[in-house]
Amino acid sequence: MGLKIIESYDGSFVLEPEAKAVLLSLLTAESFLQQVALQLQCSRLEFTELLFQPVPYSSETPKGMPAQFEQYHGKSDFAIVNVPPNFMFQAKVFKPSRLCAIYRVFKS
């Protein structure tokens, strides 16, 4: 069985306003920010309110994310965090099944 090469993938999505509000409140909760900051060994984080759906690796998306978000990949002042599944469930976001959030990192 050979590998199927994906040339392009539509990673666009729209969140319902209520779901987006719940998700944003969870992603900006102080306890969550402290937990992520501890993992990243930084003084604090700030949510950029940028969310994206991970996409399959392809020639157009070599980093597994939509091209417009690749500018944040590998930058020391930004972190890409998987949105925890329980946050997705609490916000009643089932499509897409996975999201990533981009945070600005502040080192002390």
Angle subtended at Cα 65 by Cα 63 and Cα 70, rounded to the nearest 5 degrees: 70
Q: How do residues 69-85 score in pLDDT, each as one tens digit?
A: 999 998 999 999 999 99
pTM of the model: 0.85
Distance from C-alpha of 3 to C-alpha of 97, rounded to nearest angstrom: 23
Q: How do residues 92-104 score in pLDDT, each as one tens digit?
A: 999 999 999 999 9
Domain segments of the chain: what residues? 17-106
Q: How do residues 9-55 score in pLDDT, each as one tens digit?
A: 555 778 899 999 999 999 999 999 999 999 999 999 999 999 999 98
State the average pLDDT over residues 55-72.
86
| Cβ density class 87-99: b for 16+ within 10 Å, e for less | bbeebebeebeeb
* Ramachandran angles phi, psi of 38, nearest 5°: -65, -45
